[in-house]
Structure 1
Amino acid sequence: MNEQISTLRIPARQFCVPLSATRRGARLGRLLATEQLRAWGLPLDPARLIVAELTANAALHGRVPGRSFRLTLSVVAPRLLRVEVADTRGDHLPVLRAAEDEAAESGYGLYLVEELADRWGVRSGPSPCKTVWAEIDLAGPSAHFAPEPGSG
């Protein structure tokens, strides 16, 4: 028997789920993320708002017929939550709309992500995929603890 110790650094807490690239899949992602955050004892906001925006974007802008997207939540440091949404539209990268573009009816959700996350960005690959990620410092000013239902 060949025994080797893996040197891969796997987060102590990780949740990963494939979801259909539909409105229903985006909603399910938000609900599952909320329940996972509760199970981990982590603050619900702003993470669930970020998840809602990123999963909605994956279902709307990252949709490829017959392909799903993936939602991953990871606690990558003692007080750092990373949200990742990967889809198969690597050719369609998210962009912040110009503030002067008042005629646009959509496209402002990434401003919400930018305001709520401590850091966010896009990682390309493996082809044809892209991953939009956001990090939340749970001990920082963006961490808002939401009361549990029925506790207030």
Structure 2
Amino acid sequence: MRLAVSEHSVRHIRRVVRSFLREWEMAELADAAELGVSELVANVVRHVPDRRCTVLVMRQTAGVRVEVTDGFSGLPSARSEVPEDSEGGRGLLLLDAVADKWGVEPEPSGGKTVWFECRC
């Protein structure tokens, strides 16, 4: 899906991911995958000036892989500690908690792809 996202887009993208997982008989992964894609798309809304991204959901033999690609070259990094009163900074910590693997890959044309995998 190629999208220009807003604060309201996250809810719709979660529904699409859940729909794919039900169709693929992987509904047990829905909560983790929905939380993961929510965090990645929310980061696009917060940090990518044009708010454009591509969301790719791929069925794998043992689970699902979700990729969010944007044109912003700034690479995210997980913080080891987040102040209690901070309103942000926990997204990649949450992703790390719910995904089996995740990572960031710079795109040759600029931008990056942030991805995660959840296994059955």
Bin for the TM-score computed over the shorter chain: 0.7 to 0.9
- Check conservation: 1:22, 1:60, Cα contact below 8 A: no
Larger Rg: 1
Name the CA distance, whole Å, in 2 between partners of 1:50 and 1:93.
Answer: 17
Counterpart amino acid of 1:84? E
2:12 is aligned, of 11, 20, 28, to 28
Counterpart amino acid of 1:58? V
TM-score with structure 2 length normalisation?
A: 0.86
2:115 is aligned, of 105, 114, 133, to 133
Higher RCO (CA 8 Å, separation ≥ 6 residues): 2
Name the CA distance, whole Å, in 2 between partners of 1:21 and 1:60.
Answer: 10
1:89 is aligned, of 55, 66, 72, to 72
TM-score with structure 1 length normalisation?
A: 0.70
Counterpart amino acid of 2:65? R
The aligned residue for residue 95 of structure 2 is 113
Deviations 1:78-136 (A, max 9, x none): 1131111111112x111112315344221101111001111101000132220000011
Number of equivalent positions? 118
Over the aligned positions, Cα root-mean-square deviation in angstroms equals 1.7
The aligned residue for residue 43 of structure 2 is 57
Deviations 1:18-40 (A, max 9, x none): 12131123332212111121222
Moved beyond 6 Å, runs of 4+:
none
- Check conservation: 1:30, 1:55, Cα contact below 8 A: no
- What percent identity do the matched residue pairs reach? 36
Name the CA distance, whole Å, in 1 between partners of 2:46 and 2:67.
Answer: 16
Name the CA distance, whole Å, in 2 between partners of 1:58 and 1:69.
Answer: 7
The aligned residue for residue 80 of structure 1 is 63
Structure 2 gaps, min length 5: none
Q: CA distance change for structure 1 residues 23 and 136 in 2, over 3 Å: closer, same or farther?
A: same
The aligned residue for residue 147 of structure 1 is none
